[in-house]
Amino acid sequence: KVWKEALRGVDKDVPSVTKSFVNHVQTSLARQAYNLDDLGAYQAAALSVRDNLIVNWNETQLNYTRKNPKRAYYLSLEFLMGRTLDNALLNLGLKEEYRDGVKKLGFSIEDILDKERDAALGNGGLGRLAACYLDSGSSTELPLWGYGLRYKYGIFQQLISPEGNQLEAPDPWLENQNPWELPRLDVTYEVRFYGQSERLANGRGIWQGGQEVVAVAYDVMIPGYGTKTTNNLRLWESRPKRGFDLNSFNAGNYEGAVESSNTADAITSVLYPNDHTSFGKELRLKQQYFWTAASLADIIRRFKQQGKPMNQLPDYVAIQLNDTHPTLAIPELMRILIDEEDFGWDQAWSIVTNVFFYTNHTVLPEALEKWPVPLIEHVLPRHLQIIYDINLFFLQAVERKYPNDRERLARMSLIEEGFPKQVRMAHLAAVGSRKVNGVAELHSDLVKTTILKDFVDFEGVSKFSNVTNGITPRRWLDQCNPELSDLITKTLKVEKTVWLKDLAKLKGLIPFAEDAAFRKEWAAIKQRNKERLAHYVQTTLGLTVRTDAMFDVQIKRLHEYKRQTLNILGVIHRYLTLKAMTPEEKKKVNPRVVFFAGKAAPAYYIAKLTIRLIVNVASKINTDPDTKDYLQLYFLPDYSVSLAEVLIPASDISQHISTAGTEASGTSNMKFCLNGGLLLGTVDGANIEIAEEVGESNVFFFGHLTPAVEDLRYQHIYHPVPLEEKCPGLARVIEQVAAGLFGDAEIYEPLLNTIRQTDYYLLSDDFDSYIAALGMVDEAYQDQDEWVKKSIKTTANMGKFSSDRAILEYAESFWNIEPSPVEAPK
């Protein structure tokens, strides 16, 4: 019934599809259908699918306007959407019709889908999570909008030089036009920077002068799976308010005249490519304010259209802050309420603290945002005053509860003393929000016991909670692994439209783990997915991957805490072991192919060295006749959502090996396990909850636990033990690298020194148990029957990790919003 409603008004037959396709070729593209390349066919298909999305989008917005439900807004500086066409076809239920339709016209749907460029407006996990949440919001019919920035350039394209250096090239993703966005040239707001702020006696402020730029809305339609609901992702583009400044021009200052136009455009020109290291750059601060100011203005305008007084804002609006990046929304809403809406401080603060919700995504100190006070004062003088006022009232309250506790006040202050003073955005976000959450059980506990401990003591623990991350099974199972999805549907005897929205249904697969015929089908699909990946590597890199081996995959941003270095040193260890084996011994070895992919922040020197080491180890071992039949290694350049969709279904084992307590959650771990890949990991983030669901016997855990980490680090500094003594296996591997076995001996010294010296991420503590765990993986893989059983049971028990579950937790326990299905007009 739901699907019938979802398809109302959609022409779900092949003739309509071809008609609309040809129509777009001739009119929108002004081309001829008989003389069209795949790119043109992609554009025509996209435009024709888009027609359906627009109809649904319009009905959805009309439905909200009529019913006026409380709405939630997801503010994120990153939305890592990937490709849209395939997902839109799936969610609209039009995949088969388009497959047949374009075939009739002489095209292959796969080739067409492959022409789309990824929308890569994000760095990694945080941005992809936002994309999964939008999919789930629409699929569960929640009134949920996203707000972000329309970067002209997304995450850089990664090139790998022959020596193994990462080179960055721009990502001009909008070059071929983007059929998935609707420019809203009429939806604009002016945003001010710099200038002067004057405080009046009544507490209000007047902020004027400075620079004004214009925010223009671009809307991206977010279809739900099998629902009419098509929510909106609104992305802002910055434009100069005036093309050029006439005064400067008349004064003969040509450069000054065009400058204002340059700086306005600059705000949304590029996504900052660093995650986990905050640099305090002025342009980044301007991005954050530009986006939060435009989004709040838009939210408030929509609220006001209902004719309700502003004090009812929290009854109609919930705003989720995706990390601290949008925290300026808190002082901005205070500014609007006090300076423009005439509220007194207390009433304004009570509105603010009932509207915002803050998700923390990391406890790593270098990733916690701090903004220099002088910079905020310069760019946002009125906001600095408000932040100081918030701090004053907050610290007064702390002082009342804990009299004469100066140290506590210093720890909790929104302002960190120093030169310069800095605003601690996590403190501001925590103080200004109704709820604070982490993204997996362990991480949420760490938030409560480390970075925000004082705040838990002061405000009570009920404000702090957990929402374990999730992933959308539509993209991360049905789309990326269609054969497995079909097998599941056939086996469960439940329509996929049902189990893809109720992922706990996968439990029905458990008994089939004992069914030999089913296992055979399951394994054959994995095999074909490996071949698909091998084909990708062959056609893009010209390299031949053997597909009769175990596929071992680690794909994520390069970071010391994620320990790609541990993995590559483990590969070298395996290589040295193989070199020392007799041919007889080698015959017992199961071949392994190790894949890496991931980008390093352009200024992250150690991470780039790790890539270089991986690439050079690969060229050595892939050509060594003694070992190449047993061990192959690939670094696949330019990791992206689309590449993940090929890699994940092909993996037998994937690695999630962060130092315990450092990976807040991880979400690719969920994607691999959902696709029947087993997990090799540390007892960290969501790995723990995955093990709880699928059973510890089906995952490979190793390494020290979180409570031990602090003490181990202390030992490294105060009681260092020479590496040769502490971990001879690791010492031997490092020696070989240092001796130049993979070339460039001196070049790797800084990387090796991170381990030889403080070894902050505990490689020397975990190396032996890591190697032992890899051995257990080998052993388990020898028994293919048992392995496939583990694989099936893993998939079967992953229901918890659907982002539908996660988004409904946010909706129910935080936002207090409900599904608002689109109804047929009477």
- Residue 101 near ligand 26Y by CB under 6 A: no
Nearer to ligand 26Y, 141 or 645 (CB): 645
When binding is defined by CB under 6 A, the residue of 570, 661, 666, 676 that contacts ligand 26Y is 666
The question of whether 501 is a catalytic residue gets the answer no
Residue type, 569: L
- Report the residue count for the chain: 826
Residue 562 bears catalytic tag: yes
Of the two residues 261 and 706, which places its CB atom closer to ligand 26Y in the complex? 706
3-state secondary structure of 322: strand
**CB of residue 473 vs ligand 26Y: minimum separation in angstroms?**
17
121 and 357 in contact (C-beta within 8 Å)?
no
In whole angstroms, the minimum distance from the beta carbon of 326 to ligand 26Y comes to 12
Non-local (6+) Cβ contacts of 660 within 8 A are 682, 683, 684, 703, 704, 705, 706, 708, 709
237 binds ligand 26Y (CB under 6 A): no
Which range in 28-36, 359-367, 516-524, 576-584 contacts ligand 26Y by CB under 6 A?
Answer: 359-367
Tell me which of 277, 305, 396, 540 binds ligand 26Y, using CB under 6 A: 277
| Cβ atoms of residues 56 and 91 within 8 Å | no
Q: Identify which of residues 140 and 274 has a Cβ nearer to ligand 26Y in the complex.
A: 274
**What separation, in Å, do the N-terminal and C-terminal C-alpha atoms of the chain show?**
17
d(CA 673, CA 671): 6
Specify the residue, 117 or 361, whose C-beta has the smaller distance to ligand 26Y.
361
Q: How far is CA 581 from the centre of its chain?
A: 43
**Is 685 a binder of ligand 26Y (CB under 6 A)?**
yes
| Binding flag, residue 797, ligand 26Y (CB under 6 A) | no
Interface with ligand 26Y includes 238 (CB under 6 A)?
no
Nearer to ligand 26Y, 60 or 274 (CB): 274
Q: Does 278 sit near ligand 26Y (CB under 6 A)?
A: yes
Of 132, 257, 664, 798, the one binding ligand 26Y (CB under 6 A) is: 664
At 17, phi and psi to the nearest 5? Answer: -65, -50
Q: Which stretch binds ligand 26Y (CB under 6 A): 25-33, 247-255, 269-277, 717-725?
A: 269-277
690 sits near ligand 26Y (criterion: CB under 6 A): no
Contact between 369 and ligand 26Y (CB under 6 A)?
A: yes
Of 40 and 685, nearer to ligand 26Y (C-beta) is: 685
DSSP reduced 3-state for 199? strand
Which of residues 439, 578, 613, 657 is near ligand 26Y by CB under 6 A? 439
Backbone phi, psi, residue 394, to 5°: -65, -50
Q: Which among 554, 555, 562, 535 has a CA at the least distance from the CA of 546?
A: 535
DSSP one-letter string for 601-669: -TT-HHHHHHHHHHHHHHHHHTT-TTTTTTEEEEE-SS--HHHHHHHGGG-SEEEE-PPTT--S--SHH
Taking the complex as a whole, how short is the minimal distance between the CB of residue 467 and ligand 26Y, in angstroms? 10
Could you tell me whether strands 144-149 and 71-75 are parallel, antiparallel, or unpaired per DSSP bridges? parallel
Which residues, at least 6 apart from 675, have a Cβ–Cβ distance to it below 8 Å?
A: 476, 477, 480, 481, 484, 648, 649, 651, 795
By CB under 6 A, residue 129 contacts ligand 26Y: yes
| Residues 142/817, Cβ–Cβ less than 8 Å | yes
Contact status: 321 vs ligand 26Y (CB under 6 A)? no
**Helical H segments across 580-604, by residue range:** 583-587
Site stretch for ligand 26Y (CB under 6 A), options 138-146, 276-284, 540-548, 789-797: 276-284
Using the rule CB under 6 A, which residue among 362, 485, 564, 655 binds ligand 26Y?
362
* 667 given a catalytic annotation: yes
Task: Output 574 or 671, the one with its CB closest to ligand 26Y.
Answer: 671
What's the token pair of residue 800? 């918890």
Residues 792 and 519 sit within 8 Å (Cβ to Cβ): yes
750 contacts 480 by C-beta, under 8 angstroms: no
Q: Smallest distance, Å, CB 690 to ligand 26Y?
A: 12
Of 391 and 466, which CB lies nearer to ligand 26Y in the complex structure?
466
User: Is 102 a residue that touches ligand 26Y (CB under 6 A)?
Assistant: no
- From the CB of 684, what's the least distance to ligand 26Y, in Å? 9
Active site residue 556: yes
- Tell me: does residue 123 bind ligand 26Y (CB under 6 A): yes
Q: Out of 82, 125, 331, 703, name the contact with ligand 26Y by CB under 6 A.
A: 125
361 binding ligand 26Y? (CB under 6 A): yes
With b for 16 or more beta-carbon neighbours within 10 A and e for fewer, the 506-535 pattern comes to beebeebbeeeebbebbbebbeebbebbbe
Task: Tell me the window of 172-180, 275-283, 610-618, 639-647 that interacts with ligand 26Y (CB under 6 A).
Answer: 275-283
Write down the catalytic residue from 526, 556, 656, 789.
Answer: 556
User: Smallest distance, Å, CB 650 to ligand 26Y?
Assistant: 22
Q: What would the 3-class secondary structure string for 331-371 be?
A: HHHHHHHHHHCCCCHHHHHHHHHHHEEEECCCCCHHHCCEE
Span from 91-99, 268-276, 534-542, 584-592 in contact with ligand 26Y (CB under 6 A):
268-276
533 near ligand 26Y, judged by CB under 6 A? no
Q: Angle 29-35-39 (CA atoms, 0-180°, nearest 5)?
A: 55
Is residue 632 within 8 A of residue 623, CB to CB? The reply is no
Is 274 a binder of ligand 26Y (CB under 6 A)?
A: yes
CA dihedral 533, 536, 538, 539 (to 10 degrees): 170
Pick one of 257, 329, 367, 680: the residue that binds ligand 26Y (CB under 6 A): 367
Stretch that binds ligand 26Y, among 156-164, 271-279, 646-654, 757-765 (CB under 6 A): 271-279
Give the span between the Cα atoms of 82 and 84, in whole angstroms: 7
| Residue from 667, 682, 794, 795 carrying the catalytic annotation | 667
Place of tokens 């004027």: 208
Give 588: exposed, middle or buried? Use CB within 10 Å, 0-12, 13-18, 19+: exposed
Using the rule CB under 6 A, give the single segment among 98-106, 305-313, 632-640, 657-665 that binds ligand 26Y: 657-665
Of all residues in this chain, which one has the CB nearest to ligand 26Y in the complex? 125
Residues 461-490 interacting with ligand 26Y (rule: CB under 6 A): 469
Query: What tokens does 460 get?
Result: 């009570």
Give the nearest distance from C-beta 742 to ligand 26Y in angstroms. Answer: 29
What number of chain residues touch ligand 26Y (CB under 6 A)?
22
Output phi, psi for 169, to 5 deg: -120, 150
Is 663 near ligand 26Y (CB under 6 A)?
yes
Residues 6+ apart with CB under 8 A from 615: 160, 163, 164, 635
C-beta closer to ligand 26Y: residue 362 or 651: 362
Largest CA distance in the chain: 89
Supply 54's token pair.
């627009």
Q: Which residues are catalytic?
A: 361, 556-557, 562, 667, 671
Residues that bind ligand 26Y (CB under 6 A): 123-126, 129, 274-278, 361-362, 367, 369, 439, 469, 663-667, 685
